[in-house]
Amino acid sequence: MPYSPGRTIILWSLIGFASTTVIAGIVLSIWRWVQPCAVGEKRFWTNCYRDLQAQPLKIGVSATSPIEDYQALASHLQEQLGVRVIVDRNTPFPEIRDRLDLEDWDIAFTGSPGFSIAAEDNNYIGVAVMYPDRPLYDRAALFVKADSKIKSIADIQPNTTIALGSSASVPTFLIPIYVLYGKTLKIGRGYHPREAINLVKTGKVDIGAGLYTAIKDDPALRAIYISQPLPGVGVYLSPRLLNFDRELIKIAMLNANPEIKAKAKYIAGQIPDYSELRKIITRAEEVSSCLKSTQNYFNWQVPVNLFCQERSPRKSAIR
C-alpha cells in the first residue's frame, strides 16, 4: 500500500487517544485507591463498602408488622455473622424511598411492589420474597357500598368522591390514578385502606381503594374495578455491601429456622418480574406530577381532571 501522510496522521492520532485514555484510567484508579473511604466503610480494590465491624448491619422494614417480628432475625444474623444488627421499623412511609435511594438499609424488606421496584432502581440485589402466606399475586380494587348507584368506572361523575392512599402506594394510589385517567372527580389522598373502607361504609365517600382480598368477602362492599394480578414483594441486599458479606448474609437468612422466617414473613423464592407494573407506575406518576400544579390538589374541595396534556420528565413519586 503506498505511503499516505493522511493515514499516518490518523493512525498516530488514534494511538495518542488510546494512550491518553489508558493513562487517564490508571490515574483515576490510583486516585480512587488513595482516597480515604468514609467513616464506617472499608476499601476493596478501588471501591468502598460498608464495614460491618465498624457499623451495625441495618435491617429496614417497610411493613405493618411490629418490630418484634424482626428482632429474632436480627439476633440470628448477629450470632451467625458476628456483627451488631439493628432494625429500622420506624421510617415514615413517605421517607422509605429516601432510605433506598441513599442505600441506607443493608437488608430491605420492601413491603410493596412499588418499593421493590425502587430497590431494584438503586441496584439492590433480591434474595427472597415476602408474605409466603398471601397469594402470590394480589389485585388492586376500587370499591363502593353494595347499594351504591355507581356500577362501574363509567358511572363516575365530577361530584363523585374517592379516598386514595399514599402517593407511594401501588394498589391505593398509583393504579387508581392510572385506571381513572381522563375522569373528573373529587379526590382525597393519604387514607389507610381501613380508613377508606370505613369512609365508604359510612357513606362519607363514594369510592375507596385497596386490595381486592380485603373487601371481596364483605357483603357491605362491592368492587367496581379489579386490577390485573400484582407481582409480589422482594427482600433485597444493599449494593454497598461487599459481595462476600452479601453472600454470607444471604446464606444466614435463608438458613434461618422456619419460626424466624415466618415471623419476618419471608422465604426463598424468585423475585417477581415488575416490567409491566413499571409502565403503569410511570404513567401514573406522570399524571400525578401534572396535577401538582392544580389548585386544591387532592383535597376533595373541587373536582380534579385526571388528565395530562403532555409527558414531562419527573422524579419518581414512589417515596
C-alpha angle 68-69-71 in degrees, rounded to nearest 5: 60
Exposure string for 300-311, b = 16+ CB within 10 A, e = fewer: beebbebebeee
Strand partners, 162: 187, 207
For residue 94, name the pLDDT band (cuts at 50, 70, 90). Answer: confident
pLDDT digits (tens, 9 = 90+) for 262-281: 999 999 999 999 999 999 99
pLDDT at 40: 84
Compare 4 and 274 and report the one with higher pLDDT: 274
- Give the pairing type, strands 125-130 and 234-237: antiparallel
Q: Is the pLDDT of residue 64 over 90?
A: no
C-alpha angle 282-283-285 in degrees, rounded to nearest 5: 65
C-alpha angle 120-48-77 in degrees, rounded to nearest 5: 65
Q: Which of 230, 206, 235, 79 is nearest to 143 (CA)?
A: 206
Percent of the chain with pLDDT over 70: 83
Overall residue count recorded for the chain in this entry: 319
> To the nearest 10°, the Cα dihedral for 119, 124, 130, 136?
70
For residue 290, name the pLDDT band (cuts at 50, 70, 90). Answer: confident
Query: Measured between alpha carbons, how far is 111 from 236 in angstroms, rounded to an integer?
Result: 11
47: left (phi over 0), alpha (psi -120 to 50) or beta: beta
Q: Which of 123, 116, 96, 59 is nearest to 232 (CA)?
A: 116
- Largest Cα–Cα distance of the chain, in whole Å? 92
pLDDT at 211: 94
Q: Is the pLDDT of residue 14 over 60?
A: yes
Please, what is the end-to-end C-alpha distance for the chain in angstroms?
64
Q: Is the pLDDT of residue 31 over 60?
A: no
Domains and CATH numbers, the chain: 48-135+231-267 (3.40.190.10), 140-230+275-305 (3.40.190.10)
Alpha helices by DSSP H, the chain:
5-34, 68-81, 96-101, 113-121, 175-179, 193-201, 212-215, 243-254, 258-264, 275-291
Q: Is the pLDDT of residue 32 over 80?
A: no
The Cα-based distances of 119 to 114, 181, 280, 297 in angstroms read 9, 27, 17, 29
Q: How many CB atoms lie within 10 A of CB 313?
A: 6
Q: Residues with Cβ < 8 Å from 318, sequence gap 6 or more? A: 97, 114, 115, 117, 118, 168, 174, 281, 285
Angle between helices 113-121 and 275-291 (to 10 degrees): 100
For the chain, the average pLDDT equals: 87
Q: Which of 296, 292, 297, 290 is nearest to 312 (CA)?
A: 290
Q: Is the pLDDT of residue 318 over 50?
A: no
Query: Measured between alpha carbons, how far is 124 from 150 in angstroms, rounded to an integer?
Result: 43
